[in-house]
Amino acid sequence: MIVYCAAAACAVGVVLVASRLVRRWRGVDDPDPDGPTAGHTGAMLSALFLLAFAIAIVVPWTTNDAARSNTYAESQAISEAYWSASRLPAPHAQHVQAGLSTYVALVRGPEWKLMEHGRLSPRGQRQLDGLRRDVIAVKADTDELKDARTSVLGHLTEISAARGQRAMDARTTPPPGLLAVTVLTGLAVVLLPFLSGARPRGATLVPLSLMAALLAAGTYLTVDMSHVFTGALAVRPDAFIGLQAELQRVAGGG
C-alpha cells in the first residue's frame, strides 16, 4: 500500500514539475473547463475507471462460476461415495453412509454460514478423516470388498480435494487496491466537471446526476460481488440441498 501511495505522489510531483517547466518555456494557459487539459484528463479517467470496473466484475464472476461448479463436483463425489459404501459389509456400510449424510447436513447448514465469513468448520474435515480411517479399517477378505473399499477411499479423497478448493474459494477476494481504484476513479469521473471549474446548472445536472447514480450502482456491485459466498452473485448450497434429498431417497430405498 505504501508503494502505491508513493507512486501516486511521484506522479503528482511529475505533473507539478511539468506544469512549471512548460509555463516557463512555452505554451498557453488552459483554464477552461472544456479545454484540452480537462478533455484529456476526462478521457483517461473514464478509460481507467472502465478498466478497473471490468476487472473488478470479471474476476469475481469467474471465481463465482468456478466455485459453483466445485460445489457440484463435491456433491457428486459424495453421491458416488454413498453408493460405493453400500458394497461394504453391512455394519460398515450403514456407518459410512450415515457419516456422509451428516457431513452433507453440516455443509449446507452451519458451515455455509461460516463460509460467508471466509472460513470452514473444522468439524467437517474431522468427519471426513474419521470416515477415511473407518473405511481403511474394514477387513477386505475378497477382491470385491477390496474394490469396494478402494472405491470409497477414492471418492473420499475427491471430497477432501473439493473441500480444500471450497476453502480457498471462501477466502478469495479481489485485491483491495483494485476496489479502491474503482471507487476513486468513479468519484473522479463524477467530480471532474467541478474540479475543472465548470458549474453545472439546470438541465445539465440531469445527465450528470444520472451518470453519477449509475456509476455508484456499478461501483457498489463490484464491492457486493467481491466475495464468493455473499452478495449479489453468492454461491448457494443448492448442490448440497439436492444431494441431501437424493441421499434420503436412496436410504429409503427409492
Least confident range from 4-18, 58-72, 192-206: namely 4-18
Percent of the chain with pLDDT over 70: 83
Question: Which position has the higher pLDDT, 169 or 45?
Answer: 169
Nearest to 41 by CA among 161, 172, 193, 200: 193
- What is the average per-residue pLDDT within 71-75? 95
Rounded distance, CA 193 to CA 42, Å?
9
- What is the average per-residue pLDDT within 79-88? 92
Nearest to 101 by CA among 81, 115, 116: 81
Question: Which position has the higher pLDDT, 243 or 195?
Answer: 243
Q: Is the pTM of this model over 0.85?
A: no
Question: Which position has the higher pLDDT, 124 or 22?
Answer: 124
Q: Is 28's pLDDT higher than 60? A: no
Give the per-residue pLDDT at 253. Answer: 64
Tally of CA atoms within 13 A in the half-sphere of 12 that contains its CB: 6
Grid cell in block for residue 137:
479399517
- Model confidence at 2, in pLDDT bands (50, 70, 90)? low
Give the contacts of 248 (CB within 8 A, at least 6 positions apart).
101
State which H helix or E strand residue 35 sits in: none
pLDDT, the chain, mean: 83
- What is the average per-residue pLDDT within 142-162? 92
Q: Is 17's pLDDT higher than 80? A: no
